[in-house]
Amino acid sequence: MTEFPERLKELAAKTKGFMPEPEGLALFDHTLKVGKKVSGPIVEIGSYCGLSALYLGEAARILERPFITIDHHRGSEEMLPPSEFFDPELLDPSTGRFDSLATLRRTLELADLEDFVTVMVGESTLISGLVKAPIAALFIDGGHGSLATWNDFNYWSDKIDQDGLLMIHDVFSDLKDGGRPPFEIYTYAIHMGDFIEIAQVGSLRVLKRTPRL
Protein backbone atom coordinates (compact mmCIF):
# COMPACT_ATOMS: atom_id res chain seq x y z
CA MET A 1 0.00 0.00 0.00
CA THR A 2 1.39 3.43 -0.94
CA GLU A 3 1.69 5.74 2.07
CA PHE A 4 0.94 9.45 1.92
CA PRO A 5 4.37 11.10 2.46
CA GLU A 6 5.26 12.47 5.92
CA ARG A 7 6.46 15.79 4.46
CA LEU A 8 2.99 16.34 2.92
CA LYS A 9 1.30 15.37 6.20
CA GLU A 10 3.38 18.07 7.89
CA LEU A 11 2.46 20.60 5.23
CA ALA A 12 -1.22 19.63 5.49
CA ALA A 13 -1.12 20.26 9.23
CA LYS A 14 -0.02 23.86 8.52
CA THR A 15 -2.40 24.50 5.60
CA LYS A 16 -5.62 26.44 6.06
CA GLY A 17 -8.67 24.39 5.22
CA PHE A 18 -11.46 22.05 6.07
CA MET A 19 -10.09 18.56 5.58
CA PRO A 20 -9.34 16.45 8.65
CA GLU A 21 -6.36 14.15 8.08
CA PRO A 22 -8.30 10.83 8.16
CA GLU A 23 -10.64 12.11 5.44
CA GLY A 24 -7.73 13.47 3.41
CA LEU A 25 -5.97 10.12 3.63
CA ALA A 26 -9.19 8.42 2.47
CA LEU A 27 -9.29 10.77 -0.54
CA PHE A 28 -5.69 9.77 -1.29
CA ASP A 29 -6.19 6.01 -0.82
CA HIS A 30 -9.40 5.73 -2.83
CA THR A 31 -8.15 7.91 -5.66
CA LEU A 32 -5.01 5.75 -5.88
CA LYS A 33 -7.23 2.70 -6.42
CA VAL A 34 -8.89 4.13 -9.54
CA GLY A 35 -8.15 1.50 -12.16
CA LYS A 36 -6.39 2.06 -15.47
CA LYS A 37 -9.60 1.24 -17.38
CA VAL A 38 -11.26 4.30 -15.85
CA SER A 39 -10.57 7.28 -18.10
CA GLY A 40 -9.98 10.95 -17.61
CA PRO A 41 -8.67 13.41 -15.07
CA ILE A 42 -9.33 13.70 -11.36
CA VAL A 43 -11.43 16.81 -10.66
CA GLU A 44 -11.94 18.75 -7.44
CA ILE A 45 -14.56 21.46 -6.93
CA GLY A 46 -13.52 23.69 -4.04
CA SER A 47 -9.74 24.21 -3.90
CA TYR A 48 -9.77 26.93 -1.18
CA CYS A 49 -6.15 27.02 0.06
CA GLY A 50 -5.18 23.61 -1.31
CA LEU A 51 -5.58 21.32 1.69
CA SER A 52 -7.62 18.58 0.00
CA ALA A 53 -5.63 19.23 -3.20
CA LEU A 54 -2.52 17.96 -1.38
CA TYR A 55 -4.11 14.52 -1.03
CA LEU A 56 -5.69 14.40 -4.49
CA GLY A 57 -2.70 16.00 -6.21
CA GLU A 58 -0.26 13.52 -4.69
CA ALA A 59 -2.49 10.63 -5.80
CA ALA A 60 -2.66 12.13 -9.30
CA ARG A 61 1.12 12.53 -9.40
CA ILE A 62 1.61 8.85 -8.51
CA LEU A 63 -1.04 7.71 -11.00
CA GLU A 64 0.38 10.02 -13.71
CA ARG A 65 -3.14 11.31 -14.25
CA PRO A 66 -4.16 14.95 -14.72
CA PHE A 67 -5.70 16.67 -11.69
CA ILE A 68 -7.85 19.77 -12.07
CA THR A 69 -8.82 21.84 -9.04
CA ILE A 70 -11.59 24.40 -9.47
CA ASP A 71 -12.54 27.46 -7.41
CA HIS A 72 -13.57 31.07 -8.01
CA HIS A 73 -11.52 31.89 -4.88
CA ARG A 74 -14.07 34.45 -3.68
CA GLY A 75 -15.26 32.19 -0.87
CA SER A 76 -18.56 30.43 -0.38
CA GLU A 77 -21.41 32.23 1.35
CA GLU A 78 -20.68 29.97 4.36
CA MET A 79 -17.16 31.41 4.75
CA LEU A 80 -17.76 35.13 4.34
CA PRO A 81 -18.57 37.50 7.25
CA PRO A 82 -20.25 37.02 9.69
CA SER A 83 -19.55 33.29 9.41
CA GLU A 84 -17.34 31.64 12.04
CA PHE A 85 -15.41 30.17 9.09
CA PHE A 86 -14.43 33.60 7.74
CA ASP A 87 -10.63 34.07 7.78
CA PRO A 88 -9.63 37.77 7.58
CA GLU A 89 -6.08 36.75 6.54
CA LEU A 90 -7.57 35.82 3.17
CA LEU A 91 -8.70 39.37 2.39
CA ASP A 92 -6.59 40.94 -0.36
CA PRO A 93 -5.34 44.19 1.22
CA SER A 94 -5.30 46.00 -2.13
CA THR A 95 -8.96 45.29 -2.90
CA GLY A 96 -10.47 44.32 0.45
CA ARG A 97 -11.97 41.29 -1.25
CA PHE A 98 -11.70 37.64 -0.25
CA ASP A 99 -9.09 35.85 -2.36
CA SER A 100 -7.66 32.38 -1.63
CA LEU A 101 -5.85 31.94 -4.98
CA ALA A 102 -2.37 33.09 -3.87
CA THR A 103 -2.51 30.80 -0.82
CA LEU A 104 -3.48 27.84 -3.03
CA ARG A 105 -0.49 28.53 -5.32
CA ARG A 106 1.84 28.71 -2.34
CA THR A 107 0.53 25.39 -0.97
CA LEU A 108 1.09 23.64 -4.30
CA GLU A 109 4.56 25.20 -4.59
CA LEU A 110 5.56 24.05 -1.10
CA ALA A 111 4.24 20.57 -1.94
CA ASP A 112 6.21 20.36 -5.22
CA LEU A 113 2.90 19.60 -6.92
CA GLU A 114 2.72 22.58 -9.30
CA ASP A 115 3.67 20.44 -12.31
CA PHE A 116 0.88 17.97 -11.60
CA VAL A 117 -2.05 20.24 -10.78
CA THR A 118 -4.08 22.38 -13.15
CA VAL A 119 -5.69 25.28 -11.31
CA MET A 120 -8.90 26.52 -12.90
CA VAL A 121 -10.30 29.78 -11.54
CA GLY A 122 -13.99 30.39 -12.08
CA GLU A 123 -17.54 29.22 -11.50
CA SER A 124 -17.75 25.44 -11.39
CA THR A 125 -20.84 25.39 -13.64
CA LEU A 126 -19.10 27.44 -16.35
CA ILE A 127 -15.94 25.34 -16.14
CA SER A 128 -18.01 22.16 -16.54
CA GLY A 129 -18.55 23.23 -20.15
CA LEU A 130 -14.78 23.27 -20.68
CA VAL A 131 -13.91 19.85 -19.19
CA LYS A 132 -15.14 17.03 -21.38
CA ALA A 133 -16.30 13.61 -20.19
CA PRO A 134 -15.16 11.15 -19.05
CA ILE A 135 -13.56 12.04 -15.75
CA ALA A 136 -12.10 9.38 -13.46
CA ALA A 137 -12.95 10.92 -10.09
CA LEU A 138 -14.91 13.93 -8.84
CA PHE A 139 -14.58 15.46 -5.40
CA ILE A 140 -17.40 17.87 -4.55
CA ASP A 141 -16.46 20.39 -1.84
CA GLY A 142 -17.55 23.73 -3.33
CA GLY A 143 -20.43 25.91 -2.17
CA HIS A 144 -22.53 24.04 0.39
CA GLY A 145 -25.80 25.92 -0.20
CA SER A 146 -28.61 24.10 -1.98
CA LEU A 147 -28.19 25.68 -5.43
CA ALA A 148 -24.38 25.43 -5.46
CA THR A 149 -24.33 21.80 -4.27
CA TRP A 150 -27.03 20.62 -6.67
CA ASN A 151 -25.40 22.53 -9.53
CA ASP A 152 -22.10 20.79 -8.87
CA PHE A 153 -23.85 17.42 -8.85
CA ASN A 154 -25.99 18.12 -11.91
CA TYR A 155 -23.31 19.74 -14.06
CA TRP A 156 -20.53 17.28 -13.23
CA SER A 157 -21.60 13.83 -12.00
CA ASP A 158 -22.71 12.54 -15.40
CA LYS A 159 -19.15 12.95 -16.63
CA ILE A 160 -17.82 10.29 -14.23
CA ASP A 161 -16.65 7.18 -16.08
CA GLN A 162 -17.88 3.68 -15.19
CA ASP A 163 -16.14 2.54 -11.98
CA GLY A 164 -15.01 6.13 -11.45
CA LEU A 165 -15.41 7.85 -8.09
CA LEU A 166 -17.81 10.45 -6.74
CA MET A 167 -16.49 11.77 -3.43
CA ILE A 168 -18.65 14.20 -1.44
CA HIS A 169 -17.55 16.18 1.59
CA ASP A 170 -19.58 17.37 4.58
CA VAL A 171 -22.29 14.75 4.32
CA PHE A 172 -24.28 14.88 7.55
CA SER A 173 -27.38 12.79 8.09
CA ASP A 174 -28.21 14.76 11.23
CA LEU A 175 -29.01 18.45 10.75
CA LYS A 176 -27.40 19.29 14.09
CA ASP A 177 -23.99 18.34 12.59
CA GLY A 178 -24.18 20.48 9.44
CA GLY A 179 -26.11 21.59 6.36
CA ARG A 180 -28.31 19.32 4.30
CA PRO A 181 -27.42 19.74 0.59
CA PRO A 182 -24.34 17.44 0.48
CA PHE A 183 -26.44 14.74 2.20
CA GLU A 184 -29.20 15.28 -0.38
CA ILE A 185 -26.94 14.72 -3.40
CA TYR A 186 -25.33 11.71 -1.71
CA THR A 187 -28.68 10.01 -1.07
CA TYR A 188 -29.98 10.96 -4.52
CA ALA A 189 -26.92 9.49 -6.27
CA ILE A 190 -27.41 6.16 -4.52
CA HIS A 191 -31.21 6.16 -4.76
CA MET A 192 -31.09 6.69 -8.53
CA GLY A 193 -28.88 3.60 -8.84
CA ASP A 194 -26.05 5.45 -10.59
CA PHE A 195 -23.59 5.02 -7.73
CA ILE A 196 -22.88 2.58 -4.91
CA GLU A 197 -21.21 3.56 -1.68
CA ILE A 198 -17.77 2.11 -1.02
CA ALA A 199 -16.58 4.10 2.03
CA GLN A 200 -17.52 6.54 4.78
CA VAL A 201 -14.81 8.39 6.70
CA GLY A 202 -15.97 11.22 8.92
CA SER A 203 -18.19 13.37 6.72
CA LEU A 204 -16.59 12.07 3.51
CA ARG A 205 -18.56 9.67 1.34
CA VAL A 206 -16.90 7.72 -1.44
CA LEU A 207 -19.19 6.36 -4.17
CA LYS A 208 -18.42 4.36 -7.29
CA ARG A 209 -20.19 4.74 -10.64
CA THR A 210 -22.21 1.66 -11.54
CA PRO A 211 -22.24 0.33 -15.11
CA ARG A 212 -24.45 2.41 -17.40
CA LEU A 213 -27.38 0.49 -18.90
Ligand X SMILES: C[S@@+](CC[C@H](N)C(=O)[O-])C[C@H]1O[C@@H](n2cnc3c(N)ncnc32)[C@H](O)[C@@H]1O
Q: Using the rule CB under 6 A, is 18 a contact of ligand X?
A: yes
Edge-to-edge order in the sheet of strand 195-201: 117-121, 67-71, 42-45, 135-140, 160-168, 204-209, 195-201
The least distance separating ligand X from the CB of residue 115, rounded to whole angstroms, comes to 21
Task: Classify residue 2 as exposed, middle or buried by CB count within 10 Å of its CB (0-12, 13-18, 19+).
Answer: exposed
Neighbours of 18 (CB within 10 A): 17
Q: Using the rule CB under 6 A, is 149 a contact of ligand X?
A: no
Q: Using the rule CB under 6 A, is 57 a contact of ligand X?
A: no
Contact letters for ligand X, residues 151-190 (x by CB under 6 A) = ----------------------------------------
Q: Which one of the listed residues 30, 72, 73, 144 is annotated catalytic?
A: 144
Neighbours of 10 (CB within 10 A): 10
Q: Which stretch binds ligand X (CB under 6 A): 16-24, 30-38, 107-115, 194-202?
A: 16-24
Q: Using the rule CB under 6 A, is 21 a contact of ligand X?
A: no
Query: CA distances (Å), 118 to each of 26, 37, 89, in order?
Result: 22, 22, 24
- Tell which one of 21, 87, 112, 123 touches ligand X (CB under 6 A): 123
- Tell which one of 57, 75, 164, 181 touches ligand X (CB under 6 A): 75
Count CA atoms within 13 Å of residue 91 on its CB side. 10
Told to judge if 144 belongs to the known catalytic residues of this protein, a careful annotator would answer yes
Cβ contact 46:103 at 8 Å: no
* Calpha distance 57→87 (Å, rounded): 24
Q: Which stretch binds ligand X (CB under 6 A): 56-64, 141-149, 174-182, 197-205?
A: 141-149
- Tell which one of 40, 41, 142, 164 touches ligand X (CB under 6 A): 142
- Tell me which residues in 92-111 interact with ligand X (CB under 6 A): 100
